Structure 1
Amino acid sequence: MYAAPQTRPMLAGALAAASRGWHVFPLLPNTKRPARPDHSADKCTGTDPRCRNGHAGWDARATTDETRIRRAWADDAPTYGLGIACGPSGLVVVDLDTHKPDTEIPEPWNRFGITTGVEVLDHIAGARGGTITRTFTVRTPSGGTHLYYRAPEGSRFGNTAGTIGWLIDTRAHGGYVVAPPTIIATSTGTSCYTVVEDRPPAPLPMFLLDLLGHQHRPTPAGPTRIPASTDRLPAYVKSAVTQEAANVASAPAKQHNTRLFVSAKSLGQLIAGGVLDEHTAYDALTTAAHSLMGPGCECNPREIDNTIRSGFHAGAANPRTPNPRENSRKAA
């Protein structure tokens, strides 16, 4: 759990974040600004111990080392806030803001009556046949939302500001987020960052991968197989993935697309229920569908991709979290 006790809550929060492999650093009290270094690169004299071999900014100082963390949030600095360096932490954080009063709402969002980044992201996901996977979620003092996602291995995303959509920024390499239980000063007083959904970060949703320029590559055609990632799933979820993949692989002629959509919709319900990640389901269905391609079949990678995404989106409207006992009774 990401709970911070009332005694030394900032230190506890920093240690909890580091235990997840997230690289942390202190922020000046009541602000979003890094506490160290106290100088910019162009004014670095090399006298700071960490700058002896060149200027070391907040990103170079971020750490998971418990000794350094305890020293950073020592007794004389208990009110320092908490920053998480996204790049070295393997995170892509989606920052969803809210509409500021007395500012213009751009089109088409004004026409749709949309005023929050959450609504904008939901609209974009729907338009692209994607789902907003449940993940580690933080509420910001301004009423915004931070969605913490796991970056794909080998990727190196930068930061974006409004390029995905209105009120949507992302933080990755070169960026950081203010993390719970940091307290900052606002126009109405002080407020804190709060965890509203405490779960391991989910893989970055595929529609966001596309928007950030890292296209998901479909699995090459070959024998039907279930991805190794299903080994980490609960038995009843793995069984559902295996069954739906088998349903697709055994689809009779002229029913390939229909069978794929139905299976994708079924697994989309589990994705929305938070018991299955989108990438595992996508890989299983893609592999099964690609095994059908051949003479007399009109399936192609693009059509398969579109059908799976459409099925996931349709399934997201009815989230499902199966009861393992019910599943066992059915199997019996």
Structure 2
Amino acid sequence: MTTSRWTAALAAVRRGWPVLPLRPYRKVPAVRDWDRTATLDPARVREWWAYSPFNVGISCRGAGLLVVDLDPPDGRTTFTRLGEIEPTYTVRTPSGGEHRYFLAPPGVELRNTAGRLGPGVDTRAAGGFVTAAGSVLRTATGFRAYETVLDLPVAPAPEWLVSALSPTPAPTRIVVPVQRPSPRRIAAYRAAVVEGEVDRVRTARPGTRAHVLFTAACRLGELVGAGWLDESTATALLLAACADHEGVDGWTPREAAHHVGNGIATGRRSPRALG
């Protein structure tokens, strides 16, 4: 078994396919960082397979391959219905399925998929490996080998297959330039807001004054947060508007200052914006 799998590894190398050792009778890499470790060096191959009867893996990235894995019972039927397929190098798997080898398209990095093309159809490409012909698996019914059934040149991947497997391009971000309001417009807007809120505070009735003062301070705080009004100016204007309320139904300067401070702090967290 060791000699036959060493021969299989060298056969893959002669095709220009970098190989890696898989654990004996399994499909698991026997080396770390296998994608970088895969080699075309015959001496390295002899060293590996002299050590153990490893199965043979082929790095799809290094080999420039896209391998379509057709699992029974649906894989062949599904793949045939997808589009026209040129005959290509094909390996029968121990389960009775097929590995069909195609040349990966230049300039497009395809990745591994599972079921993306339909039931029973997986693919191996960049970042994946395929178990080579000559490898042997231990199954419930005994040892079964991967066997070449069509020893043909590897065909280019058909366009429909490349299209189906190509990554979906990210949506184009449309950047809408933000037009800043002019200083004149800001000044006019600020004056209107300040005048309106100060007047609301000045004319508020007992029983509503705390709410009116707090909401007015919030709105002026939004201007402060936007950098359109100085905080000390906003505070002074609102406290001056409260002056006529002092002593009426127990209203005090301390209460006024409390609502003004809370309102401006709240408004600053949501700066005003002009559309």
Q: Distance in 2 between matches of 1:84 and 1:194?
A: 15
Alpha-carbon distance in structure 1 between the residues aligned to 2:46 and 2:141? 32
TM-score, normalised to structure 2's length?
Answer: 0.59
* Percent of residue pairs bearing the same amino acid type: 45
Q: Does 1:25 align with 2:20?
A: yes
* Residue in structure 1 matched with residue 77 of structure 2 by the alignment: 119
Of the candidates 49, 60, 63, which is equivalent to residue 39 of structure 2?
63
How many angstroms apart in 2 are the aligned matches of 1:87 and 1:155? 11
Q: 1:190 to 1:118 in 2, by over 3 A?
A: same
User: Which residue, 39, 60, 66 being the options, matches 1:92?
Assistant: 66
Gap regions ≥5 residues in structure 2? 169-275
Q: For residues 164 and 71 of structure 2, what CA distance do their matches in structure 1 show?
A: 18
Is the helix fraction higher in 1 or 2?
2
* DSSP-derived class of the 1:146 partner: strand
Match of 2:56 in 1: 82
Q: Provide the rounded CA distance (Å) in 1 between the counterparts of 2:19 and 2:107.
A: 21
Q: CA deviation at 1:214?
A: 7.3
Q: In the TM superposition, what is the alpha-carbon distance from 1:66 to its structure 2 partner?
A: 1.1
Q: 1:27 to 1:7 in 2, by over 3 A?
A: closer
**Following the alignment from structure 1 to structure 2, what is the Cα–Cα distance between the partners of residues 173 and 206?**
18
Q: In structure 1, what is the Cα distance between the partners aligned to 2:148 and 2:132?
A: 9
Question: In the alignment, which residue of structure 1 is the partner of 2:266?
Answer: none
Q: How does 1:45-60 map to 2 (within 5 A)?
A: 57-60=33-36
Report runs of 4+ in structure 1 exceeding 4 Å deviation: none
- Of 153, 162, 167, 2:106 maps to 153
Contact 2:38/2:59 (8 A) holds in 1: yes
User: Which residue identity does 1:173 align to in structure 2?
Assistant: A
Post-superposition Cα deviations, 1:217-245, rounded to whole Å, max 9, x if no partner, equal xxxxxxxxxxxxxxxxxxxxxxxxxxxxx
Instruction: Say if 2:138 is the partner of 1:185.
Output: yes
**1:16 aligned to which of 11, 19, 33:** 11
**CA deviation after TM superposition for structure 1 residue 85, in Å:** 0.7
Deviation digits for residues 70-98 of structure 1, max 9, x if unmatched?
11111x31x21000010111000000001
1:196 aligns with 2:191: no
Give the alignment's Cα RMSD to 1 decimal.
1.6
Q: Is structure 2 residue 125 aligned with structure 1 residue 172?
A: yes
SS state at 1:147 partner: strand
